[in-house]
Structures are given as C-alpha cells and as structure tokens.
C-alpha cells in the first residue's frame, strides 16, 4: 500500500505513486463530501487504468451525511455508490472491509523477472545516518545488496547497500523482485 496526500500541492507526488500501483482507494469525508482534489485524484487514477474503490471515512462524526456523499460519488465521480465502503478509521469501523475489498478487487502486479532491473522511483527522503532512502516499485528483474544500479536520468551508478520493505520501519531483505514496492540505500 502506498499512502499519498490528497492536497492539491502534492499532485505530482500522487501521480508518481499511482504509477506504482494497480488500484486506488478514493476517500471522501462523510461530513465534507467529495472535494475538487478528490475528483482530480480520481482522474489521475483513471489515467493509470487503476481499479478504483470508493471509501467514505469519518462516518462516526455527528455531522456525517452518508447518503449525500453516496450521491456525490455517483453523480460527481461516476462510481457505483453501493461499492462505497463506510469507514471510521478513528474507531476502526469498516477497516476490515477495506482490506478485504483490496484483496477482492485490486489485481496483483504483473511480474516480469526475466528482464534486466527496471523500477520507478516515486519518493525519497534523507536519513542523516544512512543518506538518501529511495522508495520504488520494481517492474522487471530484481535488486539486492551489492548490486550496481544506474539512474537513467543522469547515468550515475551506485552500489546498493541495503534493500527492503518499508513496514512502519525499514525491514531489510536479501532481494526484492518484480512487483514489489520497497526501498534501497545506495550512498546517494
């Protein structure tokens, strides 16, 4: 899962993250309804041909207007309002249904392990002890500690120091393969 911000200032980051996914949860606030950026993010997801799951969050609020938001999901987003999952992330209501819907409706990645390593970098951050930690999605091949990689934008080459999965904290692995989303550290 890749969590992206919904704010308009982060449209580029959302677009990069969506290029790394097979599906998207489109969230609408039960008290505020579908906002302009929700529609913009839906269009980005549709451009990437992603499976869309509508989710109405904050159903526990006294100001929640679930039927109004369902109408907006149908009229403004063109999605089936009956597919909308009702959730209160704060208290945990409906979260299990979100997970099950992801399993049921979002296809797994297409895996191509026969080609050379190809990946899309969608985010990075700086760690003062390890340097730049790069978040990426592998489309072909695999990557492991000690491998040499090359950035296509500037032809810079680096030796991979660590690869892993990001699960609340870094979880180092021996190798990551096509279809996986993870991180690498390479002295960048």
Q: Where are the chain's structural domains?
A: 8-105, 118-185
Homologous superfamily of domain range 118-185: Translation factors (2.40.30.10)
Q: Decide if 8-105 and 118-185 have a common fold.
A: no
pTM of the model as a whole: 0.72
CATH code reported for the domain at 8-105: 3.40.50.300
pLDDT bin (cut points 50, 70, 90) of residue 134 is very high
For residue 152, the model assigns a pLDDT of: 84
- Average pLDDT (163-169) is 88
User: What secondary structure does DSSP assign to 119-168, as a single string?
Assistant: EEEEEEEEETTTEEEEEEEEEESEEETT-EEE-TTT--EEE--EEEEEES
- Reading phi first (left if > 0) and then psi (alpha if -120 to 50, else beta), residue 94 is in left
Mean pLDDT of 137-158: 91
Region 131-150 average pLDDT: 92
Residues forming a β-bridge with 93: 88
Look up residue 32 and give its two tokens: 């505020």
Position 168 scores a pLDDT of 80
Q: In percent, how much of the chain has pLDDT > 90?
A: 55
pLDDT digits (tens, 9 = 90+) for 74-129: 999 999 999 999 999 999 999 999 999 999 999 888 776 677 888 988 889 999 99
Q: What is the pLDDT of residues 30-55, one digit of tens each?
A: 999 998 888 888 888 898 889 999 99
């Amino acid at each position: 899962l890749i969590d992206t911000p919904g704010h308009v200032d982060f449209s580029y980051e959302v677009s990069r993250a969506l290029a790394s996914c097979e599906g998207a949860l489109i969230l609408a606030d039960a008290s505020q309804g579908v906002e302009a950026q929700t529609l913009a993010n839906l269009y980005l997801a549709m451009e990437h041909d992603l499976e869309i799951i509508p989710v109405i969050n904050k159903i526990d609020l006294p100001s929640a207007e679930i039927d109004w938001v369902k109408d907006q999901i149908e009229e403004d987003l063109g999605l089936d309002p009956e597919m909308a999952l009702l959730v209160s992330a704060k208290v945990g209501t409906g979260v299990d249904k979100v997970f099950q819907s992801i399993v049921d409706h979002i296809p797994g990645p297409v895996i191509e392990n026969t080609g050379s390593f190809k990946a899309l970098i969608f985010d990075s951050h700086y760690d003062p002890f390890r340097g730049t930690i790069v978040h990426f999605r592998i489309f072909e091949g695999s990557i492991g500690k000690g491998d040499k990689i090359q950035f296509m934008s500037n032809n810079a080459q680096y030796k991979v120091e660590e690869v892993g999965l990001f699960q609340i904290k870094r979880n180092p692995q021996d190798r990551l393969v096509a279809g996986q989303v993870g991180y690498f550290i390479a002295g960048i």
